[in-house]
Amino acid sequence: MRTWAKNKRLTQILLVIWFLTTLLVGIAPKPLRFSFFGWEFTYWWGAQGALFIYLLLVWVYAKKMHKYEKKVIRNTDL
C-alpha cells in the first residue's frame, strides 16, 4: 500500500476512535452513568479521561507516520 493510502486509512481509524471517545461517552446511555472517583463517569471522562486518549491518538499517528516515511526514504534512491 502506498504511503498516502496508509495515511488516509490511519486517519480514518483514529477519527473513529476520537468519535467514540468524544461523542458516545458524552451522550452516554444509562450503563455509563455510575460513580467514578466520586464523580459521574461521563463527567470524569469528559474532564480527565478523554485527554489521555487524545494524547495517545497523537502519539500513535506520529509514530506510524514516522515509520511510513522512513520506509519510503529507505526505498527511494536519491
Range of the domain at 26: 3-73
Query: Is the model's pLDDT at 77 over the cut of 70?
Result: no
Q: Which of 78, 65, 75 is nearest to 11 (CA)?
A: 65
The answer to whether residue 19 is domain-embedded is yes
Residue 29 counted as domain residue: yes
Whether the pLDDT of residue 30 is over 60: the answer is: yes
Whether residue 32 has pLDDT greater than 80: no
Decide if 78 is inside a domain: no
Provide the domain count of the chain.
1
pLDDT reported for residue 78: 54
Give the pLDDT of residue 1.
Answer: 61
Backbone angles phi, psi at 35, to 5 degrees: -75, 130
Q: Is residue 10 part of a domain?
A: yes
Residues forming beta bridges with residue 35, ordered by sequence position: 40
Looking at the domain assignment, is residue 20 inside a domain? yes
**pLDDT tens readout for residues 41-59:** 888 887 888 899 999 999 9
Question: How many Å apart are CA 38 and CA 59, to the nearest integer?
Answer: 30
